[in-house]
Amino acid sequence: MTMLTACYQDPDLGYEVHSCAPMPVARASATCFVINDRAYVFAGRDSEGVLYNDLWCYTPATDSWESLGATPLKERVNATACVSDGKVYIGLGFNGLYGRDTCYLQDWWEYSPQTNQWTQLADYPNRYTDDATSFVGPGELYVGYGFFWNYRRDMFRYTIETNQWDSIDVHASFKGYPPRSFGGTGCTCQGRHFMGTGYFKSSLNWWAELVDGTHWEARAAVPGKARTLASSAANNDYVYLCGGVQYGSVTTTFDVLRDIRRYDPNTNSWQFLAVMPQGLYNHICFTIGNRFYYGLGENAEWAVNKQMYYIED
């Protein structure tokens, strides 16, 4: 049974935020994916900085969590996951000390939830793997914009059938847009690939579409405060984006954001939906059916969260 969280209701849209079963173990900087109307959460860290390599499954029909145990992958934060034809492609992320090359993980795996089988694939081509963004196309995946010592705009195409990576020079002819950055978010909606926000010298609010796998085109910027470490997910109609941090520099306020917004690819427009009970960053989100779920992550007091929430759209 879900409980209504008394936090906010928009007078025009009427969106309400509901709480659902918390994950048994709180964590931040985890990675999630959805298959067959179930959500899976991989890795992340606790409030003491201890890293995980385990996998959990959330079933909305019963509002319950199940531990699937440890995986063969190394413990990490900020991994990347894609789903294509019932298989999960997952890996990358960070484990260790800032600036140590081997801590930026390049391993890439295929996972089958039906058989619980893991198969290691070709390594990612470089070490810009901390918090990379990914998109899913027919028979291929796009991964890029990860962090390694500094900020770049690298994008790579992974061909599933051949288990090969190749570089796509999406930024050389586009005059440096989007900006090189870290901590952005993006996903695939209606077969189109969208990405934005992040951090470079200060928080950003850009939003763009990767067109034909060859170049970026600017789209309507994310409204409100610029942000990094937000989270996004999509269904067949919309992209949902929530939370994150507005951060300008070491001398500015660390403002943890509470808004939930919806992007419509057909009209290239954003709509404000609701206010979250607490601001979050380094959190997860996903869509199942007509619900947008979000949770885990960290709040304004740097406390690691285990609560999950949803809105119905």
Q: What residue segments make up the domains of the chain, in order of their start?
A: 3-312
Asked whether 79 and 92 are in contact (CB, 8 A), the reply is yes
Q: Which residues pair with 120 in a beta bridge?
A: 109
> DSSP strand E in 60-116: where?
64-70, 80-84, 87-91, 108-112
Q: What is the pLDDT of residue 92?
A: 98
Q: What is the token pair recorded at 249?
A: 């520099």
**Is pTM beyond 0.85 here?**
yes
Using alpha carbons, select from 92, 86, 108 the residue that is nearest to residue 43: 92
Backbone angles phi, psi at 54, to 5 degrees: -90, 175
Tens-of-pLDDT digits for all 313 residues of the chain? 333 333 444 445 568 999 999 999 999 999 999 999 999 999 999 999 999 999 999 999 999 999 999 999 999 999 999 999 999 999 999 998 655 788 999 999 999 999 999 999 999 999 999 999 999 999 999 999 999 988 888 899 999 999 999 998 765 545 667 888 999 999 999 999 999 999 998 899 999 999 998 889 999 999 999 999 999 999 999 999 999 999 876 556 789 999 999 999 999 999 999 999 999 999 999 999 999 999 999 999 989 999 999 999 9
CA separation for the pair 69, 57 (Å, rounded): 10
Task: Output the pLDDT for position 5.
Answer: 37
Which residue's entry shows tokens 């007509």?
A: 290
Distance CA 30, CA 229 (A): 12
User: What is the distance between the alpha carbons of residues 83 and 126, in angstroms, rounded to a whole number?
Assistant: 22
Q: Is the Cβ–Cβ distance between 286 and 39 less than 8 Å? A: yes
Q: What is the 3-state secondary structure (H, E, C) of 100-122?
A: CHHHECCCEEEEECCCCEEEECC
Q: CATH number of the domain at 3-312, out of 1.10.3720.10, 2.120.10.80, 3.20.20.80, 2.60.40.10?
A: 2.120.10.80
CA dihedral 176, 130, 234, 168 (to 10 degrees): 40
Counting every residue written for the chain, the total comes to: 313
